[in-house]
Amino acid sequence: MSRTARETTTTYAAPYRPPVVRAANLVGSALAALGARPDLSAESLLRSARRRTGLEDFGDPSFREPLEVLVDSVEREAGLTPVGRLITRERLVGALGNRLRAERLFRDHPEILDQRLEPPVVITGLQRTGTTFLHRLLAADPGLRALASWEAINPAPFLRPGADGEDPRIRQARRSERALAFLAPDFFAIHPVEAEAPEEDVLLLDYAFLSTVPEATLRVPTYARWLESRDQTPAYRYMVRLLKLLQWRRSGERWVLKSPHHLEYLDTLLAVFPDARIIQTHRDPVTTVASFCSMIAHGRGVFSDRVDPVEVGRDWLRKTARMISRGMEVRARARDGGAVAYGACGGGTFFDVRYEDLLRRPMEVIEEVYGFLGRPLGGRTREAVERARRENVQHRYGSHRYRLSDFGLTPGDVRRSYGKYCEAFGFGDARGGGCESRRRG
């Protein structure tokens, strides 16, 4: 796929608005002044989900508290536009509808939960470190099972199949893809969201309302802080149920999962998937923080007119530093305890990939990854991975422009926040150069 000349804007505090969306927000604001606006209360969302599906059982009730904390934070802090409020309500009702449909299937088909999940391959690392590119390369392997975007949006099938034989979830995902491209055309240059492409499994954790998905698109500091103190086990266990449901519909030898979210919760991930193989990607945090803050600011601009890039920088520097620190602690405990090995030759739990290596010599890195997994890289798989590499070139939707200073940060701020990580992986020089990542942790 060829590249485009488009460049993303850096006017984060003035989000792009198509004229029709500006008009809709004006009308919505007038209606809100009269007391008419979408209800975001938890009870209203639950009622709407029940009414749309005709179902009652949401399953494990542990999701209710996080849902209530989330909607309270959204109501008080997110500063949603009328259109942003409507999208948020639809997304939350949709998530609850998926829970209802999933529980119906679990009840009617108990064989779903009797399935075995093979130990997954899990790609994680800080945001903007090449996790998406690596995921798409591995997902091309015909024997590996990746989560598609349309499945992430609706893991539970609709109660009525499409009249034309196509899964209606795919059609809905295509509409969502077009809607995002219309609302935020710059976003695809930062992170392509394509209906039938592999997607992050953090979206499955979001059905327990215990994930970083809301804070990645909305200003919800109360919910974000509350989440950091919560046990993620219910979310990961519910993800297992959804993975089994998806596998029941379309099987594969082994799941290949991907999300930066896992870096913060490696202990929980390994408790739920004790035999998982984890591939961690690495890149200079001075670059990743700037790039990710830009992504956050663009994402928030879809939902709110109030986007403060300096606040984004402050909050996400703390958040991402916490993520890497927690990840390093888990890896250090595992290594010191002798419970987890590190290696590249068919053994161990963790394997490190440098971003620069992945871009410069992707097929060599893939060969090393397959050695770590103890998985053969046959001719058919190699051809599929090479085809995915050609299709997923950088800048095919445009160039992503960003500067750390736009977010009130300096390279020194990042180096200090990431002190141990910079030292461990060679990012400590004052010039902000690259590193020589250590494959065995």
Specify the 3-state DSSP secondary structure of 366: helix
Domain membership flag for residue 10: no
- Residues of the domain holding 199: 19-425
Residue identified by tokens 């909305």 is: 218
Domain membership flag for residue 5: no
Domain membership flag for residue 441: no
Residue 440, CA distances (Å) to 181, 368, 436 in order: 40, 12, 12
Q: How far apart are CA 119 and CA 276, in angstroms?
A: 5
pLDDT higher than 90, residue 432: no
Q: What is the pLDDT of residue 2?
A: 52
Provide mean pLDDT across the span 280-296.
Answer: 96
At 431, which amino acid appears? R
- What total number of domains does the chain contain? 1
Q: How far apart are CA 211 and CA 302, in angstroms?
A: 20
Contact 88, 218 (CB under 8 A): yes
Contact 200, 216 (CB under 8 A): no
Residue count (the chain)? 441
Domain membership flag for residue 438: no
159 band by pLDDT with thresholds 50, 70 and 90: confident
pLDDT, tens digit, 9 for 90 and up, residues 396-417: 788 999 999 999 999 999 999 9
Domain membership flag for residue 9: no
Q: What is the pLDDT of residue 124?
A: 98
What's the Rg (C-alpha) of the chain?
A: 21
Q: What is the pLDDT of residue 60?
A: 95
Domain membership flag for residue 203: yes
Query: Between 395 and 435, where is the model more confident?
Result: 395
> In this structure, what token pair is assigned to residue 158?
């609709």
- Domain of 410, CATH number, reads 3.40.50.300
Residue 431, CA distances (Å) to 273, 284, 359, 382, 434 in order: 39, 11, 21, 38, 9
pLDDT, tens digit, 9 for 90 and up, residues 76-119: 999 999 999 999 999 999 999 999 999 999 999 999 999 999 99
Q: How far apart are CA 55 and CA 314, in angstroms?
A: 43
Q: Which of 265, 255, 401 is nearest to 326 (CA)?
A: 265
> In this structure, what token pair is assigned to residue 320?
């991402």
Contact 293, 405 (CB under 8 A): no
- List beta partners, residue 351: 279
Q: How far apart are CA 196 and CA 210, in angstroms?
A: 25
pLDDT, tens digit, 9 for 90 and up, residues 292-343: 999 999 999 999 999 999 999 999 999 999 999 999 999 988 775 444 443 4
Domain membership flag for residue 436: no
437 band by pLDDT with thresholds 50, 70 and 90: very low
Q: Which of 134, 236, 223 is nearest to 212 (CA)?
A: 223
Q: Measured at the alpha carbon of residue 397, what is the angle toward residues 216 and 259, in degrees to the nearest 5? A: 35
Q: How far apart are CA 363 and CA 414, in angstroms?
A: 31
165 band by pLDDT with thresholds 50, 70 and 90: confident
Q: How far apart are CA 293 and CA 319, in angstroms?
A: 11
| Range in 35-49, 242-256, 426-440 the model is least confident about | 426-440
Domain membership flag for residue 430: no
Residue identified by tokens 């009730």 is: 61
